[in-house]
């Protein structure tokens, strides 16, 4: 196995270690998205982005710890943090984990349902019911057709009385820092994917009513780290007359813990999304267009810490189509949002005064001046691989840093 990683440790005056890397499939060199990179036996970690790139900064006191890299369907990798200091390249290869034939079984639909129902019964045991305080990073990328038109980053602190519960009245969200590039959309429509939609996924898997009656199920077996994992595929029945998701739910075999899911709105059920008709400014003229959803993908992963499971990351990708009745306007707007939990305190935490989800208007435009020093040292979710594409789209006349500063003044 080839292992290459880039780690830079700053001078002693700056007591932290920065890890940057790109994670690829060992067999075909494709990017591995959504893999976990974390310090063993801690709650400190991050994930790879859509191009397999990640970044993580930790205090120098963790120099003797080990870094674990894991992803469902791959062999995990464990290495010493302090042994990576002199390696200059920035590529890591993970090998797919091929299960032995005797571990693969043919599972009936009834067995898949029973495994899901068993995991639901144990959910409250796996997800803790005490106060939790998290540091989270939110990133939103907005595209018009194939061009980036806005980049939004935010760092938020989240407090929740009961991690297992999902009541907004038991939650407090504080905006720590945010930055937004200039909005280069070619129309005057407002697009945002509120962080609240992702924050509401702190507790995993809220199944819709009649879930077991309305869906078909199929099951395969895969692995993560050293554990066998049930991958239960769900598909809405053809006669289901509402918006519905299809995808895969991952359940660890040894304890029936939910560890993640991938989902999308099936093509035949996209039509149940409500359509809107709005007016936009297009090529200097006011035009009426229909707005419809043509794609929605979502994903979440959870990690185990001190015997319980917590959200590590969640993402939502949605594409809208804007079209005019005469066919002169055909525009695709794609919103890709990710929320990463990169630090966690459990139990004895200070209770904030204010409650409720964050107002998106506090992020766009930012309520605080652009803090370039903060963002230069913050790299929980790196985007170096797509940086060229972002620059080609966004940096027409001004650098991204100049855009962040200018947008503060709006």
Q: What is the mean pLDDT of residues 37-54?
A: 80
Window from 45-54, 165-174, 208-217, 329-338 with minimum mean pLDDT: 165-174
Compute φ and ψ for 144, nearest 5 degrees: -115, 115
Spell out the domain ranges in the chain: 6-98, 124-408
Q: How many CB atoms lie within 10 A of CB 227?
A: 17
Considering only CA atoms, which of 62, 95, 65, 59 is closest in space to residue 77? Answer: 95
The pLDDT score that the predictor gives to residue 100 is 43
The domain made up of 6-98 is a member of CATH 3.40.720.10: no
Q: Residue 318: pLDDT above 80?
A: yes
Q: Are 198 and 337 in contact (CB under 8 A)?
A: yes
User: Does residue 220 register a pLDDT over 60?
Assistant: yes
Greatest mean pLDDT among 107-111, 235-239, 329-333, 374-378: 329-333
Tens digit of pLDDT for each residue in 270-310?
A: 877 888 888 887 777 888 889 888 998 888 888 888 888 88
pLDDT at 320 over 60: yes
Distance in angstroms (rounded) separating the CA atoms of residues 192 and 194: 6
Residue 299 DSSP code: E
Return the pLDDT at 92: 87
- Chain centroid to CA 122: how far? 25
Question: What is the model's pTM?
Answer: 0.78
Kindly give, in sequence order, each residue whose CB lies less than 8 Å from that of residue 206, ignoring residues fewer than 6 positions away. 166
Residues 231, 107: Cα–Cα separation, whole Å: 11
pLDDT in tens, 346-380: 876 666 665 556 666 667 666 678 888 888 777 66
pLDDT at 11 over 60: no
Residue predicted with more confidence, 352 or 100: 352
| pLDDT tens digits, 110-150 | 788 888 888 888 887 787 677 888 888 888 888 888 788 88
Contact residues for 50 (Cβ-Cβ < 8 A; gap 6+)? 31, 33, 336, 386
């Amino acid at each position: 196995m080839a292992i290459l990683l880039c780690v830079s440790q700053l001078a002693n005056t700056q007591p932290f270690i920065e890890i940057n890397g790109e994670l690829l499939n060992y067999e075909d060199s494709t990017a591995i998205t959504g893999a976990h990179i974390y310090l063993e036996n801690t709650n400190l970690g991050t994930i790879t982005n859509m191009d397999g790139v990640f970044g993580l900064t930790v205090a120098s006191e963790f120099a003797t710890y080990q870094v674990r890299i894991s992803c469902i369907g791959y062999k995990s990798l464990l290495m010493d943090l302090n042994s990576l200091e002199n390696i200059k390249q920035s590529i890591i290869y993970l090998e797919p984990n091929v299960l032995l034939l005797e571990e693969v079984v043919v599972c009936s639909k009834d067995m898949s349902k029973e495994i899901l129902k068993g995991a639901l019964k144990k959910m409250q045991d796996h997800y803790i019911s005490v106060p939790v305080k998290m540091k989270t990073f939110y990133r939103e990328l907005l595209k018009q057709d194939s061009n980036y038109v806005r980049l939004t980053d935010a760092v938020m602190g989240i407090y929740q009385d009961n991690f297992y519960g999902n009541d907004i009245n038991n939650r407090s969200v504080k905006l720590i820092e945010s930055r937004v590039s200039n909005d280069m959309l070619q129309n005057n429509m407002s697009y945002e994917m509120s962080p609240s939609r992702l924050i509401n996924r702190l507790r995993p898997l809220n199944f819709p009513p009649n879930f077991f009656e309305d869906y078909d199920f199929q099951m395969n077996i895969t692995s993560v780290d050293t554990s066998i994992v049930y991958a239960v595929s769900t598909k809405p029945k053809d006669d289901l007359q509402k918006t519905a998701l299809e995808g895969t739910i991952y359940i660890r075999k040894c304890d029936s813990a939910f560890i993640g899911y991938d989902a999308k709105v099936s093509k035949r059920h996209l039509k149940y999304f409500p359509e809107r008709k709005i007016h936009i400014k297009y090529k200097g003229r006011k035009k009426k267009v229909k707005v419809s959803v043509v794609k929605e993908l979502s994903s979440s992963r959870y990690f185990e810490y001190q015997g319980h499971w917590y959200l590590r990351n969640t993402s939502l990708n949605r594409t809208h189509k804007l079209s005019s009745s005469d066919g002169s306007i055909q525009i695709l707007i794609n919103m890709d949002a990710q929320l990463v939990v990169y630090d966690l305190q459990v139990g004895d935490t200070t209770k904030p005064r204010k409650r409720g989800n964050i107002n998106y208007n506090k992020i766009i435009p930012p309520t605080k001046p652009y803090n370039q020093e903060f963002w230069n040292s913050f790299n929980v979710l790196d985007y170096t691989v797509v940086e060229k594409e972002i620059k080609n789209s966004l940096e027409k006349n001004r650098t991204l840093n100049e855009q962040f500063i200018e947008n503060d003044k709006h």
